[in-house]
Amino acid sequence: MPELPEVETVRRGVARYCLGRTVAAVAASRARMRLGSRRTGLAPLRGLTLTAAERRAKFLLLRFDGGRTLLIHLGMTGTLRRAAATDPPRRHDHLRLAFTSGEALIFNDARRFGLYELWRDGELPASPHLKKLGPEPLGPAFSGASLRVAAKRRRVPLKPLLMDPAVVVGVGNIYASESLFRARLSPRRAAARLTRTEADRLAAAVKVVLREAIAAGGTTLRDFVSPEGAEGYFRIKLAVYDRTGEPCRACQTPIRRLVQAGRATFYCPSCQR
């Protein structure tokens, strides 16, 4: 479900409604989460106060006093929802933080591709989840120059290159297609054949697309909702994603679909070269 704009939307919701709240009780389901995720004890969270809600790539970092960070990844179907402590549980709820205020924050994930782990702050940066991540797309470290360096010796097409978290984080299947359309570059173009000018265009396109999607509260395709239960409105602005056969918004040519590295790619064969 969530790419960077959706995770950022969730982060803002948590910051808005949960900052300063103190944990009264923690309840976790017995289900195991994503492969490679660790079952960490959550008992230390009791009595701690949420001091910050941060994001790195598609990971949420909920910072508590006492030097603890709750790391959350939403996977494909994960949501965080704001509830009253008395609200009934739902199917696929995996983690419930009840606050002393009478509110609760609940992590729900049908497919269980997501994860939650409690870390000591000092150990988190070296965790297998975070240590190999590339630059944030909206930060200065990601640019046409950094993209071109990363692309130089790669034999993959542009679409999978953009989705490689060592190149840039946070760009998933929707926004990879959308960014390539915005940059007027074919998703099949060999990464190594990207010129400096095109790399600048592509990096700029990624930034613009992500910023606009964040401003719209993310994209709701099927199940994405913010912690307040709101859908994202970027879907109506999608240029190519999930628009197979529909006319390109720029030139009316029917949008095409192809599969790259096992994922669906959408593009305009006329606008994108």
Length of the chain: 273
**Comparing C-alpha atoms, which of 235, 182, 234 is closest to residue 204?**
182
Stretch that binds DNA, among 13-21, 97-105, 157-165, 193-201 (CB under 7 A): 157-165
Residue 2: active-site member: yes
Query: Which of 129, 148, 182, 256 forms a contact with DNA (CB under 7 A)?
Result: 129
**Comparing C-alpha atoms, which of 67, 41, 73 is closest to residue 121?**
67
Minimum CB separation of residue 148 from DNA in Å reads 15
**Interface pattern 84-103 for DNA (x via CB under 7 A):** -------xx-----------
Determine the residue type at 13: G
Verify binding: residue 56, DNA, rule CB under 7 A.
no
Verify binding: residue 187, DNA, rule CB under 7 A.
no
Minimum CB separation of residue 243 from DNA in Å reads 12
Query: Which of 174, 180, 209, 213 forms a contact with DNA (CB under 7 A)?
Result: 174
Minimum CB separation of residue 99 from DNA in Å reads 26
Minimum CB separation of residue 198 from DNA in Å reads 18
Q: Where are the alpha helices (DSSP H) in 130-172?
A: 144-151, 158-162
Residue 58: active-site member: yes
Spatial separation of the C-alpha atoms in residues 260 and 105, rounded to whole Å: 37
Residue 3: active-site member: yes
- Give me the catalytic one of 11, 21, 55, 58: 58
Spatial separation of the C-alpha atoms in residues 42 and 126, rounded to whole Å: 20
- Tell the residue number behind the tokens 């995770």, with chain if given: 7
Verify binding: residue 13, DNA, rule CB under 7 A.
no
Verify binding: residue 208, DNA, rule CB under 7 A.
no
Query: Which of 110, 208, 216, 258 forms a contact with DNA (CB under 7 A)?
Result: 110
Verify binding: residue 212, DNA, rule CB under 7 A.
no
Query: Which of 20, 35, 245, 273 forms a contact with DNA (CB under 7 A)?
Result: 35
C-alpha torsion 261→264→266→272, nearest 10: 10
Verify binding: residue 30, DNA, rule CB under 7 A.
no
- Quote the tokens at residue 199: 């790399």
C-alpha torsion 140→144→147→153, nearest 10: -150
Q: Provide Rg for the chain, Cα atoms.
A: 20
CA-to-CA dists, residue 204 to 43, 109, 137, 158, 189, angstroms: 44, 33, 9, 15, 18
Verify binding: residue 258, DNA, rule CB under 7 A.
no
**Interface pattern 59-78 for DNA (x via CB under 7 A):** x-------------x-xxx-
Determine the residue type at 189: R
Spatial separation of the C-alpha atoms in residues 174 and 71, rounded to whole Å: 24
Active site residues: 2-3, 58, 263
| Residues in contact with DNA by the rule CB under 7 A | 1-3, 6, 32, 34-36, 57-59, 73, 75-77, 91-92, 110-113, 128-129, 153-156, 160, 163, 165, 172-174, 191, 218-224, 232, 261-264
